[in-house]
A = this chain, B = another copy of it.
Amino acid sequence: MTGPDTALDRTLELAVLVNEDMDRALATDGLTRSRAHVLFELHHRGPVPQRTLSTALQVSARNITGLVDALVATGFVTREPHPTDRRVVLVTPTEHGARTAATLAAGRHQLASALFDGMPANRVATYTEVLDEVLARFRELTAATAR
């Protein structure tokens, strides 16, 4: 009953469940997954131009305009002027936005602990090593295909 198909299926199943759970948690904070991605990017980079976000998240500039509109409307970020380039807007987390990002990151950390803590360390190590090998294979495959 074990084998490659099972291994892949279970991996994707876990990801689906974790993502659904994260979506529910985000919703209670008034966020969506896309908006949370923006907020996390700011959490790691600090205030940045919208252009930087559209490049980092690989979405259109238009899309970032909409996501930032929504985050401004719900109080997670503000648009600040760039000190020298008047074309640029610096998307800046509010106090609330920064706190929320930190809380969500902590929640993810807690989830990781709940899922993996207490297992034999060598088994978790094997798990991660297999995953790294699979990721490397996957990247090789798509690099070859995408050419």
Contact = CB atoms under 8 A, between A and B. Distances in A.
Number of copies: 2
B135 A13 contact: yes
A124 B2 contact: yes
Interface string A1-30: 011111111111111111101000000000
A109 B135 CA distance: 17
Nearest to A111: B8
B127 A130 contact: yes
Given A4-B124, A7-B116, A17 B131 contact: no
B4 A117 contact: yes
Interface of A: 2-19, 21, 108-109, 111-117, 119, 123-135, 137-139, 141-142
